[in-house]
Structure 1
């Protein structure tokens, strides 16, 4: 852990206290065990295993194709790397929308098989009913309003939402409905900062922003985005805190060059037999092989 990161497991009560105290909540979206270990050591508060893994890790062209089994595999890997942060599992497209029963069955798998603390579902509308059913079954839920990638096509693509007064009201109404359904916190994505500033005072629960301005109770960015690992197009709200991709390319290129030049492996990178054993090996190899 970092020198300033507590080691005790965070709870939802801790997040509520952070909101009340005006202490920003730090969330990172990560997808595997090494990333989980890094964000754990960095002292983040929450880790989301997002269905954005479809694009950043699995190479799909949207979040839609990723399956429950793929998400569970990634989420279990992250779980094994975390101790302190709360873990949120994203329920992928098609795994919860059709009915309360489907939503409950999927969420239970994430709780039982992957050990998540909360599950996340997108949009308002019928999703509010799904959220209420999950909460009534004792499963903590994260809502998600504004730009919802699973339905980005219906929203006109990956673009900011709530840019008119009417659209902003719709985003706020969705968030309020999700709060009334009992969700524990809400992610607000790609909305004007004025919308977030109006929404946060209306909610008792924490609001985590991504491209939603500084008035949110916390922020979330994708591990691969903030470290410059992902080579795809970056949204306006993404800030690069490192350039891991170029460093990685340079490192692999240097390795390839040394292999081709014969500089690697050098003597310090190879094993040696104990004294005399190499000579004995050559003697054994020189003997005729029985039957030949």
Structure 2
């Protein structure tokens, strides 16, 4: 277990930005993914609160962990007090900073209570009904809107912001002109961090893949092979049960003849 004193802090992450060091970041959901990220040397993890446990924190090792506070209907957090209680609880569990896509007043309440807040600008999935699934900031007016949002977040004291699906030149310009850590997901190479989902990196899903996603291994094929083998094993088990070939003698608990005879005699059988 990595002692808290040996894990990166907000100060350390800001120092990485100051010296121009790129930050690698993954969204993970399992203990195995978190442990692999730590072993590989990933700098930062995003873990939704529904997956964040003491065991997950331990598996994440030296990674700087962003805990995602569920927005509104997804987790029942509605008021600033709700978010504060959740943030304090996950701080005690080892969370290093907190993703929050709620309103500015809620984000400010967290900042005012010294919680390191990561907000969200550009394409914001929880607000998708207003924008649709598309890049945000391709026009001068929209780029200015993203810029202004970043400046509002700076003013209330946010530590960072996820910068999602914006033009690469906009991503670079914003990152260069804010003290916040800009976590780029489809925001070009100029963002402070490059942020991907582990499921995309590992090729775990079928269907649509975001433009910014890159697959380094193809786990889906291995999962499909394992599922075929799983079904085959279950069918063989059924066949053994039906044929009476399972259980075999080595699977059974033996009882001495004399003891069994005494038992039957006691029953009068």
Same fold (TM over 0.5): yes
- CA distance in 2: counterparts of 1:102 and 1:154, whole angstroms: 25
- CA distance in 2: counterparts of 1:190 and 1:289, whole angstroms: 80
Aligned partner of residue 216 in structure 1, secondary structure: coil
TM-score, normalised by the number of residues in structure 1:
0.76
1:102 matched to which residue of 2? 82
Deviates more, 1:140-149 or 1:102-111: 102-111
1:122 is the counterpart of 2:78: no
Aligned partner of residue 150 in structure 2, secondary structure: helix
1:131 matched to which residue of 2? 107
User: Shift of residue 136 of structure 1?
Assistant: 1.3
TM-score, normalised by the number of residues in structure 2:
0.82
Aligned partner of residue 154 in structure 1, secondary structure: helix
Residues 24, 285 of structure 1: alpha-carbon distance in 2 compared, 3 angstrom cutoff: farther
Residues 256, 22 of structure 1: alpha-carbon distance in 2 compared, 3 angstrom cutoff: same
Aligned partner of residue 155 in structure 2, secondary structure: helix
Aligned partner of residue 137 in structure 2, secondary structure: coil
2:63 matched to which residue of 1? 85
- CA distance in 2: counterparts of 1:118 and 1:224, whole angstroms: 22
User: Shift of residue 96 of structure 1?
Assistant: 8.6
Residues 171-190 of structure 1 aligned to structure 2 (within 5 Å)? 171-190=146-165
- CA distance in 2: counterparts of 1:104 and 1:46, whole angstroms: 22
Deviates more, 1:250-259 or 1:31-40: 250-259
Equivalent residue in structure 2 for 1:15, among 4, 13, 16: 13
Aligned partner of residue 290 in structure 1, secondary structure: helix
Residues 283, 232 of structure 1: alpha-carbon distance in 2 compared, 3 angstrom cutoff: farther
**Number of aligned pairs?**
252
User: Shift of residue 261 of structure 1?
Assistant: 5.1
1:170 matched to which residue of 2? 145
Structure 1 unmatched ranges of 5 or more: 2-6, 51-70
Residues 281, 100 of structure 1: alpha-carbon distance in 2 compared, 3 angstrom cutoff: same
Kept after mapping to 1: 8 A contact 2:10/2:116 = no
Aligned partner of residue 238 in structure 1, secondary structure: coil
1:35 is the counterpart of 2:10: no
User: Shift of residue 271 of structure 1?
Assistant: 11
1:75 is the counterpart of 2:73: no
- CA distance in 2: counterparts of 1:103 and 1:259, whole angstroms: 46
Q: Look at both structures and tell me which one has the larger radius of gyration over its CA atoms.
A: 2
Of Structure 1 and Structure 2, the greater helix share is in: 2
Across the aligned residues of Structure 1 and Structure 2, the Cα RMSD in angstroms comes to 2.9
Residues 289, 90 of structure 1: alpha-carbon distance in 2 compared, 3 angstrom cutoff: farther
Kept after mapping to 2: 8 A contact 1:96/1:106 = no
Aligned partner of residue 224 in structure 1, secondary structure: helix
